[in-house]
Structure 1
Amino acid sequence: MLMNGADLLAVANEHSFAVPAFNISDYAMFNGIVAVSEQRRAPLIVAIHPDEVSHLGYDVLPALVQRAHKATVPVSIHWDHGGTYEQILRAIQIGFTSVMIDGSMLPYEENVALTARVVEAAHAVGVSVEGELGTIGKLDEQAEAGVAVSDIIYTDPEQAEDFVRRTGVDSLAVAIGTAHGLYPKGLKPELRLDLLQDIKGRLPIPLVLHGGSGNPDDEIGRSVKLGVNKINISSDIKVAYHDRMREVLADLTLREPNTIQPPAIEAMNEVAAQKIDLFDAAGKADLY
């Protein structure tokens, strides 16, 4: 069941759980993520950022949309970390039902203006919009976005109120101490749960956590209880997928995808299922 992202997250906001947003970068990953979501009866956001779109190609989107329509759980297809107004228009044209405009690196007023412009265009055609306020860390050059961890700017609760009021976004990605990518040894992730609680107390809309790979489970679990309704997971599932694929490809005689990829999908889905349970999303498809 293909859904608008705002409608999908409204149920999560009402019932205090988080919908996993799994970043996929090939069609096999997409099919695997839909399958594990159906098995766990969990709503799903399929997140694809511009680099992943460039790898997949625009022409694959109709196939993703068709599969989402047939899914037995609610699915939203989400353009992740869009950087320009033109990018967002393209995402809408090719079938995304949810978009993120990431103006977090811009001066505040420019972020407001860009986000409000995207909201006006997207809402006109029934597409939901996620904005971002504050900056999220970036741990390696393969991470999709962010700044050096030492340069993280936490979301200001008062500014968040102003941002949501002036832009009309459907959900807000907040910076409370997460980072994109994999944490190196010796660097301890730590969430500002006090800050999250303050922001949630001021805003009625769903809050989003980016850079959710690598944080301790207890922190992530508490963030869900304190008001996070969407958590992006990219590195964790990709590492599981590609590490298992490397192991399989150690057998140099293998060449057929149906031999090589299923074990990789199984490894990825073990991680995905654990995230679904951690976010308290298992079984929640029945609420829709």
Structure 2
Amino acid sequence: MLINMKEMLAVADKNEFAVPAFNIGSGAILRGVVECAEENNAPVILAIHPTELEFLGDSFIKTCIDEAHKARVPMVIHLDHGGKFEEILRAIRCGFTSVMIDASHMSYEDNIAITKKVVEVAKVSDVSVEAELGTIGTTGDSYEGGSDIIYTDPKQAKDFIDKTGIDSLAVAIGTAHGIYPKDMKPELKLDLLKEIRDTVDVPLVLHGGSSNPDKEIAESVKIGISKINISSDIKFAFYKKYREVLAENPKWIEPNAIEPPCIDALKEVAKFKMSLFNDIGKADLYR
């Protein structure tokens, strides 16, 4: 069942769970996420970054759309961290049901201007819009970029939502993109999240959610996070297993022999995230 993000997160926000947005960087990863979602009766977001779309091509989105239509659980096809208006237009033309415009690195006024422009175009096609206020950090090993964390200001967040008409807001409360190094100890500002949740009336999104402590992530869902982005963790599990399989079977060349155990490794991590976000079994709420 293919729906847009506004529909997806309205249910999550009301029922206190978060939908995982898994970055889909290949057909094998897509298969693993779709299988895991159906096996666990869990709604899911298929997220694709502009660099992934450039590599995979527009035809890959047709495959995602087909998988979503056939699925027994609700799915969203989402452009993750669109940085240019042209990338947003491409995604809408391809059939994405949700887009993110990330102009958080711009001035506040410019962020409002481009986000408002995206909302005006997207709404015509019933495509939902996510934007970001504040900046997410980076560990330096993620294509999603980032910078030093600039925390989201609750009052500014309300003003931003009022002026742009966005459907969901990515907030900066202490996460970073990528896998954290061992000497990096992330900490979410949950008090800040509570203040933002009490101030705004749209679903909130957590980016860079791969390596934060599970207890903090679970608590953020209880407070009001409705969507959590996961990319590095599932890819790390997939390609770690890939290297092991090739090391044990150096002469193997067939993807249908190499990739199944890698997909299983990915699904194990994806299921854990679904459970952590209270997402398992929630597909029934959309029927």
- TM-score, length-scaled by structure 1: 0.98
2:40 is the counterpart of 1:43: no
Q: 1:60: how far off?
A: 1.3
Q: Secondary structure at the match of 2:227?
A: strand
Distance across 1 between alignment mates of 2:197 and 2:173? 12
Aligned to 1:32: 32
Distance across 2 between alignment mates of 1:71 and 1:121? 28
Aligned to 1:56: 56
Alignment of 1:123-134 (within 5 A): 123-134=123-134
Aligned to 2:282: 284
Aligned to 2:244: 247
Aligned to 1:213: 210
* 2:83–2:103 contact (8 Å) kept in structure 1: yes
2:180 is the counterpart of 1:183: yes
* 1:210–1:232 contact (8 Å) kept in structure 2: yes
Q: 1:54: how far off?
A: 1.6
The Cα offsets for residues 180-207 of structure 1, whole Å up to 9 and x where unpaired, read as: 0011111101000000000000111110
Q: Secondary structure at the match of 2:22?
A: strand
Please, which of 131, 138, 162 is the counterpart of residue 159 of structure 2? 162
Alignment of 1:136-155 (within 5 A): 136-147=136-147, 151-155=148-152
The Cα offsets for residues 223-272 of structure 1, whole Å up to 9 and x where unpaired, read as: 00000000000000000000000000111111111110000000000000
Aligned to 1:257: 255
Q: 1:84: how far off?
A: 1.0
Distance across 1 between alignment mates of 2:145 and 2:68? 27
2:185 is the counterpart of 1:200: no
Aligned to 1:67: 67
Q: Secondary structure at the match of 1:169?
A: coil
Aligned to 1:15: 15
Q: Secondary structure at the match of 1:172?
A: strand
Q: Which amino acid aligns with 1:206?
A: P
Distance across 2 between alignment mates of 1:129 and 1:163? 13
Distance across 2 between alignment mates of 1:239 and 1:218? 21
Q: Which amino acid aligns with 1:198?
A: E
* 2:141–2:179 contact (8 Å) kept in structure 1: no
Aligned to 1:275: 273
Q: 1:139: how far off?
A: 0.4
Q: 1:7: how far off?
A: 0.3
* 2:133–2:157 contact (8 Å) kept in structure 1: yes
Q: Which amino acid aligns with 1:116?
A: K
Q: Which amino acid aligns with 1:107?
A: S
Aligned to 2:230: 233
Distance across 1 between alignment mates of 2:211 and 2:146? 16
Q: Secondary structure at the match of 2:185?
A: coil
2:170 is the counterpart of 1:173: yes
**How large is the Cα RMSD of the aligned pairs?**
0.7
For structure 1, list consecutive stretches of 5 or more residues without a partner in the other structure.
none
Aligned structure 1 segments of 4 or more residues deviating by more than 6 angstroms: none
Distance across 2 between alignment mates of 1:122 and 1:87? 12
The Cα offsets for residues 40-88 of structure 1, whole Å up to 9 and x where unpaired, read as: 1110100000111122111111111011100000000000000011110
* 1:81–1:145 contact (8 Å) kept in structure 2: no
% same residue: 58
- Deviates most, 136-145 or 246-255: 136-145
Q: 1:143: how far off?
A: 3.6
